[in-house]
Amino acid sequence: MMNSRTVLYILGLAVVALFTWGIATSTNGGGAGVATPPPAREVLATVDGEEITRSEVEATAGGQLVQLRSQIFDLTDQALQQTIDGRLLELEAAKQGLERDELVSMVVDSNPPVATEAQIDSVFEAFQDRIDQPRDVVAPQIEAFLLNQARQARFDSLLAAVRDDYEVVNYLEPPRFDVAAEGPAKGPESAPVTIVEFSDFECPFCKRIYPTLNQIMDDYDGQVRLVFRQFPLNAIHPNAQKAAEASLCADEQGKFWELHDAMFEGSGGLDAASLKSRAAEIGLDEDAFGTCLDSGRFAQQVAEDVTAGRALGVSGTPALFINGRYLSGAQPYDVITRVIDDELQRGGA
């Protein structure tokens, strides 16, 4: 376990580094871009005169390309945003008759912020379970951390203000992947944003993202369609396969989402007996459900979803494709809504 000085020192360095990097990269000139992918029909090789196209090669590479494209886009987007911010600061500084560094210093460093004793106490108390040194010993590190936070907030406010004063057109397109929106769904088919979720009913991270997606469906009512696809991680979740099949047996009776919610909200098991008990609780025809579950009628459909997910680079759950844009893991609300808002600004896809 790290002591309090180490924890707070690292936090302080992180804020300083972020602030310094933000100013440094924002002031660099030049642009950031990404090459337009060649058409899928592009011929990459021939064997005895028979063509091998880019689309064939990409299908073979599968998930590796999904991950790499997403990473390249994220890095390019970050660099582009920093370059845009740098240009905006240059424009605003010129308008005020200042050098760029003078503008930043005037906003960030003038009237220096002060860390109060109450603020220091608050941070100390927040980390108290990890602190093994007296408050007076760690107080200087806490103060430095708070001051750097305040300076970063001023810098962020400056950028927010100048962004509102100048037109910025961003032409960088995110990578999109061709994901079939097939499976139980809620939200209108005409919604401009479609989220395809590959999920596992026994996965704790899927359970964690469940209320987040519910909140998104409420907050973006009519604008988002959610499609559920199966991806049981059978190697580590022994009941996930049957739970997936059970959800499709419920779907057969028009109650997929009722059983979906009961499995994610409940604290009981997901073995066959528990699944049948849950089915009875939500009003399913018990005999029909039991026959469906025991027969393995939907095992093949579950397997097809897993195969489709793997071809897209899915290796864990939950995995979201928002209009084809890939997000892996139990992402927080603001990360998901940032993509949704961007898609709504782009007019849907």
Instruction: Please state the domain extents for the chain.
Output: 4-165, 185-345
Task: Write out the two tokens for 76.
Answer: 């390019």
Mean pLDDT throughout 1-16?
A: 43
Predicted local confidence at residue 69, as pLDDT: 83
User: Using CA atoms, how far apart are residues 160 and 82, in angstroms rounded to an integer?
Assistant: 13
Q: Give the number of other CB atoms < 10 A from CB of residue 83.
A: 19
pLDDT in tens, 23-33: 333 333 333 33
The pLDDT tens digits for 323-338 are 999 999 999 999 999 9
Q: Would you give the end-to-end CA distance of the chain in angstroms?
A: 47
pLDDT digits (tens, 9 = 90+) for 82-135: 999 999 999 999 999 999 999 999 999 888 889 999 999 999 898 888 878 899
Q: Summarize pLDDT for 235-261 with one digit per residue, the tens.
A: 999 999 999 999 999 999 999 999 999
Which of 4-8, 169-173, 232-236 is predicted most confidently?
A: 232-236
pLDDT for 38: 46
CATH for 185-345, options being 3.40.50.300, 2.30.30.280, 3.30.300.30, 3.40.30.10:
3.40.30.10
Q: Could you count the other beta carbons within 10 Å of the beta carbon of residue 336?
A: 20
**Confidence grade of residue 9 (pLDDT, cut at 50, 70, 90):** very low
Percent of the chain at pLDDT exceeding 70: 87
pLDDT given for residue 28 in this prediction: 38
Please provide the DSSP assignment of 117-153 as one string.
HHHHHHHHHHTGGG--S-HHHHHHHHHHHHHHHHHHH
Q: What integer best gives the mean pLDDT of the chain?
A: 87
Residue 288: pLDDT band with limits 50, 70, 90? very high
Provide the strand spans (E) within the chain.
43-47, 50-53, 185-186, 193-199, 224-230, 319-322, 325-328
